[in-house]
Amino acid sequence: MGKVMVVMKVFPDEGVNPDELCARVKAVSECNTAKVIDYVFGAKVIQASFVTEDGSGRDFEAEVQALSGVSNVQVEEVGLIG
């Protein structure tokens, strides 16, 4: 078994500071990276990645969606890494 990486975009609720939400996303255990990026029409979203053991059963999408200030989560990629 290897490790799995999940890459997602996290969309903040209207009026939520993206930098503050990024800090909350980084606090999720096994967060590899999280940064605020430009999206469309001047909007900001958080691009985050998480790494865990294959077969761990972690649902990072649900964990991040449950954070305060999150409007939506879009998983972009899931794959095995070395």
User: How long is the chain?
Assistant: 82
Q: CATH code at 25?
A: 3.30.70.60
pLDDT in tens, 64-79: 999 999 999 999 999 9
Q: How far apart are CA 41 and CA 75, in angstroms?
A: 21
CB 60 within 8 A of CB 6: yes
When divided into structural domains, the chain yields a total of 1
Q: What is the pTM of this model?
A: 0.92
Residue 16 has pLDDT above 90, yes or no: yes
Residue 57 has pLDDT above 90, yes or no: no
Q: How far apart are CA 49 and CA 34, in angstroms?
A: 7
Residue 82 has pLDDT above 80, yes or no: no
Residue 51 phi, psi dihedral angles, 5° rounding: -125, 130
Q: Look up the domain containing 10 and give its range.
A: 3-81
pLDDT in tens, 32-43: 999 999 999 999
